[in-house]
Amino acid sequence: MPSTFDTVANIISETCDIPRDTIKPESHAINDLGIDSLDFLDIAFAIDKAFGIKMPLEQWTQEVNDGKATTEQYFQLNNLCTRIDELVAAKGA
């Protein structure tokens, strides 16, 4: 079974036509990979489907805009994968 990171990296690679080997756990989706908000909708749709979750993007964006969180906390891939794992665990609880 692929790891959360592998699944997310494959989704990003296919959705945004980014070479898979350039996508690292420490990559920042926006700053390093150049993913814009519209492409991120496609990625979010694919992630939501793949994991059976609903990533709270609006909440995350609001926290960043309010200065309560940094973009790294949600959009650096290793952190994003941790959030996904938490959502999956919460779903099964």
Partner 1 sequence: MRIEYFQLIDRIVDLDLANQTIRTEARVPTASTIFEGHFPGFPLMPGVLLIEAMAQTSGWLIIGVTRFTRMPFFAALKEAKLRSFITPGQTLALSAKLLHEGSGYAVTKADIRCDGKVACNAEITFRLVDFPNPEFRASMDKMAAILQFPMGALATADTQHG
CA angle, residues 43, 45, 48, in degrees to nearest 5? 105
- From 38, 89, 90, 93, residue interacting with partner 1 (rule: CB under 8 A): 38
> Does residue number 42 form part of the binding site for partner 1 (CB under 8 A)?
yes
Locate all alpha helices (DSSP H) within 4-76, ordered by sequence: 4-16, 37-51, 57-65, 71-75
CB of 59 to partner 1, least distance (A): 7
CA distance 25 to 79: 8
CB of 24 to partner 1, least distance (A): 26
Q: State which of positions 45-74 bind partner 1 (CB under 8 A).
A: 45, 48-49, 54-59, 61
* Interface residue list for partner 1 (CB under 8 A): 38, 41-42, 44-45, 48-49, 54-59, 61
